[in-house]
Amino acid sequence: GQQVMQIPQYQHVQEGEDFTTYCNSSTTLSNIQWYKQRPGGHPVFLIQLVKSGEVKKQKRLTFQFGEAKKNSSLHITATQTTDVGTYFCAGRTSFQKLVFGTGTRLLVSP
């Protein structure tokens, strides 16, 4: 079945450092979404990318969708302690469902 892998699995950074998580799908996606889940919380929708090669920014967060629509990345510039959590990508296939990536857990030390 379809798989969506994320790397790294875990990253610990100092506040102010940059952070990037990469998402790779085994199949072509119709779109990709990114979610953030705080410890003990539920996933919160961040953004959706639809077009091949699309780049979107939300303040310090930059999201990219690959040309082949099989990979994506999330880059955080100058991390803050409030960025702590697990970041999931989720790819939507030609069917209705979302397939979640394995997630990247981010820890930010002050």
Partner 1 sequence: GAVVSQHPSWVICKSGTSVKIECRSLDFQATTMFWYRQFPKQSLMLMATSNEGSKATYEQGVEKDKFLINHASLTLSTLTVTSAHPEDSSFYICSARKSESGDYFGPGTRLTVT
Give the footprint of partner 1 on this chain (CB under 8 A): 1, 33, 35, 41-45, 48, 88, 90, 96-103, 105
* 3-state DSSP assignment of residue 82: helix
Question: 12 or 16, CB closer to partner 1?
Answer: 12
Smallest separation (angstroms) from partner 1 to the CB of 81 = 20
Report the alpha-carbon angle 67-73-74, nearest 5.
140
Element (H, E) at 16: none
Smallest separation (angstroms) from partner 1 to the CB of 25 = 14
Question: 5 or 17, CB closer to partner 1?
Answer: 5
Determine phi and psi for 97, rounding to 5 degrees: -80, 160
